[in-house]
Amino acid sequence: MLFTKLAEYLQKLEGTASRNEMTVILAELFKESSPDDARLIAYLSAGRLGPAYNSPDFGIADMSMLKALGSESKTIFNKLGDLGLVIEQIKSKTQNSKIQRNSNIKIQNVYDRLWKIAEVSGIGSQERKQELIRKLLDELDPVSAKYVVKIILGKLRTGFSDMTVLDSLSWMMAGDKSLRKNIENIYNVRADLGEVAMLVKDSKTLNFKNSNIGPEIGTPVLMAKAERASNSAEIWERNGECAVEYKLDGLRIQAHISKSQILNSNIQINSKLQNSNIKLFSRGLENVGHMYPDICAGLAEQVKEDCIVEGEMIAVDKNGKVLAFNKTMNRKRKYGIEDKILEIPMKIFLFDVLWLKNKSLINLPNNKRWECLEKLVKKGEIVELMPRIIAKSTNEIDEFFQKSLKEGMEGIVAKRLDAPYTPGNRDFSWIKMKTTLDSVDVVVMGYSVGEGKRTGFGIGEFLVGVYEPKSDKFLTVSKVGSGATDAEWVKLRKELEKLKVDKKPERYDVAKQYEQNFWVRPQLVLEIVANEISVSPGHTSGYGLRFPRLISWREKKPEDATTVSEIKSMYTSIRMAGEN
């Protein structure tokens, strides 16, 4: 496919706010593509060169792009405020027959050249990037050039989510969304939209129901999620005899380990370790392995076979006792890692294995996967198995729960013994129980300027929402203006500045009374706790949080935030507990 064809479709996508229209437009685009092009289209239409966990940063800011676009670009930019529109206008004035002839550049060609731009590094890299950008833009038509600039700057805003892409693939195959769930099951097992698009496009049949596509080492599996319970009776009613594990307040990690490719098993703890054979994926699908070389070293030493395992990574003191969540978060950094390793050591407590020795285990029952995990891990200082019992009564669940609290844990997770691993899904095969009013993971939607002391911060409060999977939208649940230190307000403003968009995203459902000074794209997930959950006609979720306070930043995708149904369930549980 020619890149100009992709650019035409991107222009159509930018011109509509309807999710259904976006679905049909994307379906038409995928229908015209080859399987290989479908993979690239999935990445480029999202403004990336790969899946979220493996897409390079171009390292080009507006000022550097202005230099690449030429002397007249600054004047036009001051009027338009959009460098994509700037290059489109410049090229529309100067377009000639030579440029028109050269507009038959294929998507693969543009994609390869964008990778080369991203890979340029070292002394003089900005000048070399600018030269490569100029050469590429010279060969493109105005509309294609506009979207290349937007992709490089990370400012392509088509307004659709991963779920819309999955809908469009179903529409391409069946003319409706009837295959969406089957295609989503593939995505849940291999969270790479490009690969999923290629697999679906290459399919010779419409039957995805019995897909034999399983996990693949190096590609994250969307993590299973737990439902909530307020007491052991609820757990017992649903699961009966079950496994019960500690719930740690750390960072959930999915580790992909290629033991067979690690030539030197005696890996030294060094921040320069970029071991491509050990990947640590967060819930937000970020590969954070380079930030935790001590964990990578422990896994290389203590795990016996190639595998995909899951666990909770947490900071500990010199005696191995778990520390507060803020200590764990203090370890996440790009620089000064060696010093922090000595100051704040880490451990990882494993609780599941999804793939082992080239074989998927996700369909095995939980107790069988646990047996595999026990045999997989050697004793050592970094890697341990999550503390776990088989509870044969509510009393045993309660006793283990109290024990977990005494040892500084958040609570427990009860797991049905015969349940398979359910990638990307939340169901009652896993049930979590905590001691206090459960926190809520919310998506920051926008913010308003501050008053008084916070005028200097540029932010006084922010609007947060929860996720509605059925509509793929975010619905408001609260405004938050407390619980953060001065330093956290400054940090929050800096992060939100990076996410700021010109208008309210189409995926936001917000009542007029909660309109914000500034809107941000759905990316930042925060943990909030409140004194009470109440019915709220003003908030589009139908519920509100009274006296909400910021607790922590979460390593999650926005679609993994608390859902509307969870908020409703929490409200109902708290109300019933109060009546009792």
Is the predicted pLDDT of residue 244 greater than 50, yes or no?
Answer: yes
Q: How many whole angstroms separate alpha carbon 46 and alpha carbon 161?
A: 8
* Confidence (pLDDT) at 305: 94
Q: Structure tokens of 454?
A: 């916070």
Q: How many whole angstroms separate alpha carbon 58 and alpha carbon 133?
A: 11
Neighbours of 252 (CB within 10 A): 18
Asked if 271 contacts 296 with a C-beta cutoff of 8 angstroms, the reply is no
Average pLDDT of the segment spanning 179-206: 88
* 317-350 burial: b if 16+ Cβ within 10 Å, else e: eeeeebbebebbbebbeeeebeebbeeebbbbbb
Nearest of 162, 199, 7, 28 to residue 87 by alpha carbon: 7
Among the residue ranges 13-17, 174-178, 521-525, the one predicted with the least confidence is 13-17
Q: Which amino acid is at 51?
A: P
Q: How many whole angstroms separate alpha carbon 565 and alpha carbon 507?
A: 18
Strands 225-228 and 426-434: parallel
Q: How many whole angstroms separate alpha carbon 311 and alpha carbon 281?
A: 11
Residue of 129, 225, 247, 432 marked active site = 247
What percentage of the chain carries pLDDT values higher than 70? Answer: 91
Is the predicted pLDDT of residue 433 greater than 50, yes or no?
Answer: yes
Among the residue ranges 116-130, 280-294, 337-351, 564-578, the one predicted with the least confidence is 564-578
User: Ranked by mean pLDDT, which of 15-24, 267-276, 381-390, 527-536 comes out on top?
Assistant: 381-390
Q: What are phi and psi of 98, to 5 degrees?
A: -65, -45
* Confidence (pLDDT) at 267: 40
Strands 346-356 and 500-501: unpaired
* Confidence (pLDDT) at 269: 37
Band of the pLDDT at 126, cuts 50, 70, 90? very high
Nearest of 452, 456, 511 to residue 479 by alpha carbon: 511
Strand, helix or coil for residue 520: strand
Strands 518-520 and 500-501: antiparallel
How many whole angstroms from its chain centre is CA 20? Answer: 23
The residues pairing with 501 across neighbouring beta strands, listed in sequence order, are 519
Band of the pLDDT at 263, cuts 50, 70, 90? very low
Band of the pLDDT at 161, cuts 50, 70, 90? confident
Asked if 219 contacts 198 with a C-beta cutoff of 8 angstroms, the reply is no
Q: What are phi and psi of 441, to 5 degrees?
A: -95, 115
Average pLDDT of the segment spanning 325-348: 85
Average pLDDT of the segment spanning 319-331: 84
Average pLDDT of the segment spanning 141-151: 95
Q: How many whole angstroms separate alpha carbon 374 and alpha carbon 353?
A: 10
Is the predicted pLDDT of residue 17 greater than 60, yes or no?
Answer: yes
Q: How many whole angstroms separate alpha carbon 216 and alpha carbon 210?
A: 17
Q: How many whole angstroms separate alpha carbon 96 and alpha carbon 351?
A: 62
Nearest of 478, 480, 476, 462 to residue 540 by alpha carbon: 476
Average pLDDT of the segment spanning 508-535: 91
Q: Structure tokens of 488?
A: 């956290």
- Say how many residues make up the chain: 580
* Confidence (pLDDT) at 328: 87
Q: Structure tokens of 477?
A: 């649940």
In terms of pLDDT, which residue wins out, 171 or 555? 171
Is the predicted pLDDT of residue 457 greater than 80, yes or no?
Answer: no
Nearest of 107, 114, 127, 88 to residue 32 by alpha carbon: 107
Is the predicted pLDDT of residue 95 greater than 90, yes or no?
Answer: no
Band of the pLDDT at 28, cuts 50, 70, 90? very high
Q: How many whole angstroms separate alpha carbon 225 and alpha carbon 222?
A: 9
Strand, helix or coil for residue 569: helix
Boundaries of every domain in the chain: 225-434, 440-579
Is the predicted pLDDT of residue 204 greater than 80, yes or no?
Answer: no
Q: What are phi and psi of 379, to 5 degrees?
A: -70, 145
Fold of 440-579: OB fold (Dihydrolipoamide Acetyltransferase, E2P) (2.40.50)
Nearest of 570, 559, 567, 552 to residue 225 by alpha carbon: 559
Neighbours of 162 (CB within 10 A): 18
* Confidence (pLDDT) at 272: 34
Instruction: Tell me the DSSP string of 38-93.
Output: HHHHHHHTTT-SS-GGG-------HHHHHHHH-TTHHHHHHHH--HHHHHHHHHHH
Q: Structure tokens of 329?
A: 């978060």
Band of the pLDDT at 575, cuts 50, 70, 90? low
What tens digit of pLDDT does each residue of 71-93 get? 888 889 888 888 989 999 998 88
Q: What are phi and psi of 256, to 5 degrees?
A: -110, 115
* Confidence (pLDDT) at 577: 56
What percentage of the chain carries pLDDT values higher than 90? Answer: 61
* Confidence (pLDDT) at 198: 94
In terms of pLDDT, which residue wins out, 513 or 458? 513
* Confidence (pLDDT) at 18: 86
**Is 150 annotated as catalytic?**
no
Average pLDDT of the segment spanning 407-426: 94
The residues pairing with 254 across neighbouring beta strands, listed in sequence order, are 281, 310
Band of the pLDDT at 547, cuts 50, 70, 90? confident
Average pLDDT of the segment spanning 99-116: 84
User: Distances from the Cα of 375 to the Cαs of 253, 257, 291, 303, 311, in angstroms?
Assistant: 20, 16, 28, 9, 16
Average pLDDT, the chain: 88
Band of the pLDDT at 343, cuts 50, 70, 90? confident
What tens digit of pLDDT does each residue of 460-484 get? 889 999 999 988 999 999 999 877 7
Is the predicted pLDDT of residue 101 greater than 60, yes or no?
Answer: no
Is the predicted pLDDT of residue 555 greater than 90, yes or no?
Answer: no
Q: Which CATH architecture has domain 225-434?
A: 2-Layer Sandwich (3.30)
* Confidence (pLDDT) at 264: 42
* Confidence (pLDDT) at 311: 98
Is the predicted pLDDT of residue 191 greater than 70, yes or no?
Answer: yes
- For 170, residues 6+ apart whose C-beta sits below 8 A from its C-beta are 176, 177, 178, 179, 180, 182, 183
Q: How many whole angstroms separate alpha carbon 266 and alpha carbon 467?
A: 44
* Confidence (pLDDT) at 510: 94
Asked if 412 contacts 433 with a C-beta cutoff of 8 angstroms, the reply is yes
In terms of pLDDT, which residue wins out, 442 or 327? 442
In terms of pLDDT, which residue wins out, 560 or 203? 560
Asked if 133 contacts 31 with a C-beta cutoff of 8 angstroms, the reply is no
* Confidence (pLDDT) at 207: 55
Segment (H or E) for 162? helix 162-174
